[in-house]
Structures are given as structure tokens and as C-alpha cells.
Amino acid sequence: MDYRVLLFYKYINFSEPQKFQQDHLRFCEKNDILGRVWISAEGINATVSGTIDNIKKYKSEIKKYPEFADIWFKEDKHDEHAFKKMHIRVKQEIVTASFGEVDLSKTAKRLKPEELNNFYETGKDFIIVDARNDYESVIGKFKNAITPKMDTFRDWPSIVEELEEFKNKTVVTYCTGGIRCEKASALLVEKGFKDVYQMDGGIWNYITQHPDKFWEGSVFVFDERRIVTPNTKEEIKHIGKCYYCGEPTSYYINCHNQDCDLMLLTCDKCKVENDYCCSDECRQAPNRRKIYHG
Ligand SMILES: [Zn+2]
Ligand SMILES: [Zn+2]
């Protein structure tokens, strides 16, 4: 465990993203930092990996910028790089498939992990809504959470319309590291929802402090680990169901017929038995991906 994976973001007005991009890339190359950094006029969103020493240097480098002096890093142990390359891109928005402008000066209140536990434990009347995509919430969610059928974050405004009946209730939103929720919860506030919270630091912050409590299943992550499984209690370790046999699992494959490529949840046994394909038709298809064992 000599490596660290660092996740952080911040919405700020970034005046010169291009200049930052060049300087930052130079720094990362010199210090063997790999990962994905997105910058735009609205801020920064990054996941990077490196050795313990290099990540330490990286954090001081980021904090050199006055805009980032108070940034919050989510740090995980890892035994190797979590990425193969370094991508630093200047983008329109710092979240993929976002839904445009929201007034971020009126974001929702932040809810600490202990406060969420308290909501559950005292039987408070509240709803909790997953602001992530469908394939993420299928394998993991907070207890009793509403998990909207979202293909991309662009669908959030229509989800907000569906939540209309909860306008006067306490509503908590959450996402992986908190970045999507800043916008998602701000939109709820903008649409007149009365008592809106966002999970402070997202699922990450919660599961690091409280595994085996109110988080059920796994967390989909956007680096080579793909899936993180925080719980040890058997009944809440995996909540996704194998496409073939229905057994609990958290692991996805893409159907190996490249013309199908369907994303399926499958257990280890079934994926082998089914040649990594979703159907007989795909098993016989000509354009099949090679199976790499290992
Ligand atoms: Zn199975
Ligand atoms: Zn298929």
C-alpha cells in the first residue's frame, strides 16, 4: 500500500484554465502523478494517483494556488497507480454530461455523516435521493434511498420535477464525492424545495467513517479499481444482482459481442459459464472480444 489515490473538486471562478493546464501537466510529469484532471471556468475536478511522497508534493502544489488553499482531499490507500496515463483537459463543465447553469451561491446545507446517522437512528421524516446514474445506484445506495433511473446527469432537472411532491419535506441528496450534488441540490433549492441537504464529501466521506451502517453495497469509481466494496457485513456487502442467476454481486462486464457491448452485472461463475456474453445470439456473433484470463 505504497500508493495513494486522491479525489478532489472545487467550484470556483477559474480565470486562466489553459495556463494552469500547462503548469500542472509539467508538475505531474516530473513527479509521476497519473490520473484525470478536468478544469474549466467553473472549477476543477480530479482523481490522481502516485506514491505517498509524490502525492504529498502534489497536495502542496495544489494548495499553492490561493483558490485551492482550503480544498478538501479524499485520500485512499492503494498498492499501485490507479491510472495508466495523465489527462488534464480544459472543459466546458467539470462534471460530464451536466445540465448547465445553476446559482451556486445558494447551495443546499451540508450534512455530516454523523448527522445522517442521526436522521436514520431517530426515525426522522426525510427522503434521501441518489444523484448518480442508474448503473451506479444499482450496486450501491443509502438505506431506503430513492434511486432515479438516470442515464446521465443531464436528466436531473426532469427528476426534480418528479420529486415535486416532496417539496415541503427534508430532502438529502448524495453522489460519489459531492461534486454532482453541489449542482443537484442547488437546483432543488432554486425550484423552491424547503429543506435541502447535500451529503458533505459524498459517499466517500461517509463510508470511510461509517462502514457497515446505512450505506448498502458497493461504490462505482472512475479509475481502474472500478468498484470499491466498503462493507464487511454479508447482507450489505453486495446489493446488485447477477444478470444470470440473481446472486448478489457488484461486478460489471460488457457483453463480449462488440456489436452488443451491453453492460451486465454478473457473478464470477456465470460470466465464465456464459462466455462473457449476454445471450446465445451474442455467443455466436462473429465480432467477439478476446477473453483475457488473469
Ligand atoms: Zn450468477
Ligand atoms: Zn450481447
State the ligand closest to the CA atom of 248: 1
210 CA distance to ligand 1 middle (Å): 29
- The ligand minimizing its distance to the Cα of 278 is 2
Is residue 229 over pLDDT 50? Answer: yes
Residue 175 catalytic?
yes
CATH of domain 3-90: 3.30.70.100
Q: How far is the CA of 291 from the centre of ligand 1 (A)?
A: 18
Query: For position 226, what pLDDT does the model report?
Result: 86
What pLDDT shows up at residue 13? 86
Which residue spans of the chain are classified as CATH 3.30.70.100?
3-90
73-124 residue pLDDT tens: 989 899 999 999 999 999 988 887 788 888 888 889 999 999 999 999 999 9
- Ligand number nearest CA of 245 is 1
Whether 182 contacts 101, CB under 8 Å: no
Catalytic residue among 175, 181, 242, 277: 175
Give me the mean pLDDT over the 33-43 stretch.
93
In terms of CATH, what superfamily is 104-214? Rhodanese-like domain (3.40.250.10)
- What's the 226 CA to ligand 2 centre distance in angstroms? 21
pTM (2 decimals)? Answer: 0.86
- DSSP E strands: which ranges in 91-153? 109-111, 126-130, 140-142
**CATH 3.40.250.10 in the chain, residues?**
104-214
User: Quick one: cell of 285?
Assistant: 456473433
Ligand 2 centroid to Cα of residue 274, in Å, is 11
